[in-house]
Amino acid sequence: MTSISLDSADPAVLDVDAIIIGVAPAASGDGSGTGTEPRPRDAADLDRALGGRLAAALAALGATGKAGEVTKLPTLGAVPAAVVVAVGLGESPDAEGLRRAAGAGVRALAGTGRVAVALPASSAEEVEAVALGALLGNYSFGTYRTGERKEPVAEITVLAGGDDAPLDRARTLAESVALVRDLVNTPPSDLVPEDLAGHAEAVAAETGLAIEVLDEKALVEGGYGGIAGVGQGSVNPPRLVRLAYSHPEAAKTLALVGKGITFDSGGLSLKPAEAMDWMKSDMGGAAAVLGAMRAIARLAPKVNVVGYLAIAENMPSGTAQRPSDVLRIYGGKTVEVLNTDAEGRLVLADALVRSGEDSPDLIVDVATLTGAQLVALGTRTTGVMANDDGVREKVVAAAGRAGEQSWGMPLPAELRKGLDSAVADIANISGERWGGMLVAGVFLQEFVPDGVRWAHLDIAGPAFNKGEPYGYTPKGGTGAAARTLVQIAEDLAAGIL
């Protein structure tokens, strides 16, 4: 991980290779925020060193201060730093705006040694936001590259006062998100279910988390028909991982459940080729749970947290489950499999039922579950469903504070009828075409223990960025939901949830 530190020095005299500053849209007399020159924020000393021409130079280069905009300006020896990078802040940047600005600025400086970030950050929350955005934007996945590439920034200095506590928290979150991104980006040939379970074992050894791993034999003997059924078509057998964090002063318990399909071909209900090339990301939910558990162990909130990783590879073969097969989920409920590509809900069902044995006050599952999520909410917004309206809204609020976009969605009772089966307790897909994201949530609700509050996060789009990088978000694995899960744990500990 890149080194990061605090310094309250004047950026105009700091011995670094580049300085990142924030720029707001130009103000006009009527207060509309339009004008000819953008307004550098917290850069008065740097402006004086550049002869008072900073705003004019940025305007000449086309900078407007629009959020996400990046403009590079050479200093021509006027200050030790060779380059000033101006990032647009928009009109009124909140913590997430600062994260994105810092991330965009650092990402634009890949290959640079030492960078100072001089964004407006006077409170501990703002310092943490800048530090976290900078670290997330500095992420790079180079494991499989053999040629020359621009290395991430080596040293980041956040120009602000105060103690190091915000930096420590930012570093912990960034390292955990980087773990999630690395796992999602790893080719499926190098991340079969046993491998993902091995990463969980490494995290447990590093952080002191308790861990239990059930292999394929234990899954069959234990009655985990969903995970075993999905995994039976692959030469790489499934796993169920249970991680546990406990705090001596905890009054509540949170259960986190993640979908861990290390590659999803669709099984015998084979996906089209264009829908399969990014299915290495179908374990993004389990990766988010693992990353969150790592951060929770480091941050030590006063709450008990149990994390389940339901892991399998969904492949077509002579041993694969067939459409019309019936699986017996952990706890005894039966499911008719009408489509083997609706497999994520099958592995989650086992883990949801099992999580009830931990007597949780709240269960949150997270999964790259449905293509319907992308249709409804696009690639950046998580769909949040729950069996309690208050829980749903509080989870959405927690995601917002963590800096992750989400939107509350309903679980209409009338959708349950479409899941009726002629031979089993429930079918894994509906006879109705519409509302696929909601139908999946309705299915999962059937396996939530009675009387337990539960929320479901569908991150099918947000978990993997197929487009260009933006803000602190790279191309490929994004680390979606990990920070939200940490925030939920802290909210439960604080009595907010």
Known catalytic residues are 271, 345
Q: Which two tokens stand for residue 375?
A: 């249709």
Q: Where are the alpha helices (DSSP H) in 5-94?
A: 44-49, 54-60
Integer Cα distance of 243 and 317 in angstroms: 31
Pairing of strands 18-24, 39-41: antiparallel
**Residue of 194, 195, 211 whose CA lies nearest to 294:** 211
Those residues whose C-beta lies under 8 Å from the C-beta of residue 327, and which sit 6 or more positions away, are: 225, 226, 229, 321, 334, 335, 337, 346
CB 163 within 8 A of CB 5: no
Under 8 Å between Cβ of 116 and 14: yes
3-state secondary structure of 350: helix
Helix (H) or strand (E) holding 278: none
CB 377 within 8 A of CB 407: yes
Task: Return d(Cα 291, Cα 485) in angstroms, integer.
Answer: 9
> CB neighbours of 244 closer than 8 A, spacing ≥ 6?
209, 210, 211, 304, 305, 306, 307
C-alpha to C-alpha distance for 471 and 473, rounded to whole angstroms: 5
DSSP notation for 361-399: SEEEEEE---HHHHHHH-SS-EEEEESSHHHHHHHHHHH
Helices 165-185 & 482-493, crossing angle to 10 degrees? 140
The C-alpha R_g of the chain, in whole angstroms, comes to: 24
Burial pattern 335-348, b for ≥16 Cβ within 10 A else e, equals bbbbebbbbbbbbb
Backbone angles phi, psi at 29, to 5 degrees: -60, -30
283 touches 256 (CB < 8 A)? no
| Residue 305 · residue 256 · CB < 8 Å | yes
Task: Give me the residue label for tokens 């969980």.
Answer: 200
